Amino acid sequence: MPDMNIPPIDISDYDYPLPEERIARFPLEMRDQSKLLVVNDDRISGSYFNRIASQIPEGSMLVFNDTRVIKARLVFYKPEGARIEVFCLQPIGTYGQTNQASWKCFIGNAKKWKSGELKMEISFPGGNLSLIAERGEAIGEAHLVNFKWEAPGMPFEQVLEFAGKVPLPPYLNREPEESDAERYQTIYARFNGSVAAPTAGLHFTPAIMESLEAVHSSFEYLTLHVGAGTFKPVSAADAREHQMHEEEVIVEKSFLLKLLQNLHGNIIPVGTTSMRTLESLYWLGVQLLNGQEPSDYFIIKQWDPYKSEVRIPASEALQAIIDYLTRKQQTAIHGNTGIMIVPGYRFRICNALITNFHQPQSTLLLLVAAFAGESWKKAYHYALENDFRFLSYGDSCLFFRKD
């Protein structure tokens, strides 16, 4: 365990009873009809998401994660009938490869697929193709899988659209339905790359956006491609021993300029992924100010924020990134973040958080507890007592920062 300026974190303190019937297995018919729990200091109130504009301070800047969920689950069958599920996590190399691609994947029923090729026949508008998968070496708990197909100009992400299934969270305990392809995706999703949705954004509709514009809210977008590690529970008794996953981040220079202009206002990330990205930007700026320039691709490790007390203003950290991009003549910053936000973390950028209800003893719940303080317990108790729906397809929360 690295040296950190935080005391032990007993993960059992971040547990709560979650009955199976309170997990939302399916989305509501209308996205914005979900309930909204508002937590401001110790004041807790219930509302509905279609009224969120009345809860947001006028002139707030909302930050959305515009990643798009790919149909990452591929189901193959061996000639003798064994079912093999290949869960595509991330490409080795860049997106957009044609004819062949290599991906880091989880393999379900791996003992039945020691070697050799698996084949799947796929029909798509205008033709058919054969998708061939070959198992490679182990990469931690995952494996390298090499894919081949013959469809001139068709990238692998499009192959997945025709061949794959929506990667619903495992706790939903059901197969995806046709409607999930649209409902497990935000209305503003743009860039392929996630294997789990940034679920706080699932409540937004065009009408909600219009209502927020009416109170002079502005909308800005960044990209964090959500990995399967988001569902990994904290199994260590002391959460400081948990190994956090890393996820790819892409942030435009134009976004950084807008963020810098709005620092003294209300910055409200939509979802924990947006929040982790915003706070990671601060630590990237700190790295740059300390003379640690990335080779092209930055990395924020999970405990970087806790190694020493840092008093650099957020404005200076953000300006350092902007100056770096200007110097390099680049329009966006690319990298990975594995930042783990736990109680004891001091937030530099975010003033409020729109999020869903999270699993007990999860890194996401630790983040909420870091942001809201002990109010999270009262909030979750209120939600359980008042029939709120939990997890990815469940209801929403609006937390204001507990200083």
* Residue whose tokens read 């940034």: 198
pLDDT value at residue 281? 98
Nearest to 280 by CA among 311, 257, 248, 327: 248
Cα distance between the two ends of the chain: 28
pLDDT value at residue 233? 86
What the chain holds in terms of domains, given with CATH numbers, is 11-69+187-400 (3.40.1780.10), 73-164 (no CATH)
Note the residue count of the chain: 403
More confident residue, 180 or 232: 180
pTM score, whole prediction: 0.94
pLDDT value at residue 140? 85
pLDDT tens, 364-377? 999 999 999 999 99
Judge whether 25 and 36 are in contact, CB under 8 Å.
Answer: no
Q: Is the pLDDT of residue 119 over 70?
A: yes
DSSP assignments along 208-220, one per residue: HHHHHHTTT-EEE
| Phi, psi (degrees; rounded to nearest 5) at 47 | -150, -160
pLDDT tens, 29-74? 999 999 999 999 889 999 999 999 999 999 999 999 999 999 999 9
DSSP structure class, residue 57? P
Q: What is the mean pLDDT of residues 136-144?
A: 90
pLDDT value at residue 403? 67
Alpha-carbon distances of 9 from 13, 76, 138, 175, 231, rounded to whole Å: 8, 42, 32, 36, 19
pLDDT value at residue 146? 95
Judge whether 191 and 173 are in contact, CB under 8 Å.
Answer: no
Judge whether 150 and 127 are in contact, CB under 8 Å.
Answer: no
Q: Is the pLDDT of residue 347 over 80?
A: yes
Q: Is the pLDDT of residue 80 over 60?
A: yes
| Cα–Cα distance for residue pair 225/67, rounded to 1 Å | 6
pLDDT grade, residue 229 (50/70/90)? confident
pLDDT value at residue 3? 57
Which sign, positive or negative, has the C-alpha torsion 356, 361, 362, 365? positive
Q: Which amino acid is at 172?
A: L
| Cα–Cα distance for residue pair 332/284, rounded to 1 Å | 13
pLDDT tens, 84-116? 999 999 888 777 777 889 999 999 999 999 888
Beta bridge partner(s), residue 104:
90, 144
| Cα–Cα distance for residue pair 393/356, rounded to 1 Å | 9
pLDDT value at residue 57? 95
Q: Is the pLDDT of residue 328 over 60?
A: yes
pLDDT value at residue 81? 87
Q: Which amino acid is at 22?
A: R
Judge whether 207 and 194 are in contact, CB under 8 Å.
Answer: no
Highest mean pLDDT, choosing among 33-37, 137-141, 146-150, 293-297: 33-37
Mean pLDDT over the full length of the chain: 94
Q: What is the mean pLDDT of residues 266-278?
A: 97
Q: What is the mean pLDDT of residues 328-353?
A: 96
Nearest to 384 by CA among 10, 22, 21: 22
Q: What is the mean pLDDT of residues 212-217?
A: 97
What is the percent of the chain where pLDDT is above 90?
A: 83
pLDDT grade, residue 2 (50/70/90)? low
| Cα–Cα distance for residue pair 360/15, rounded to 1 Å | 5
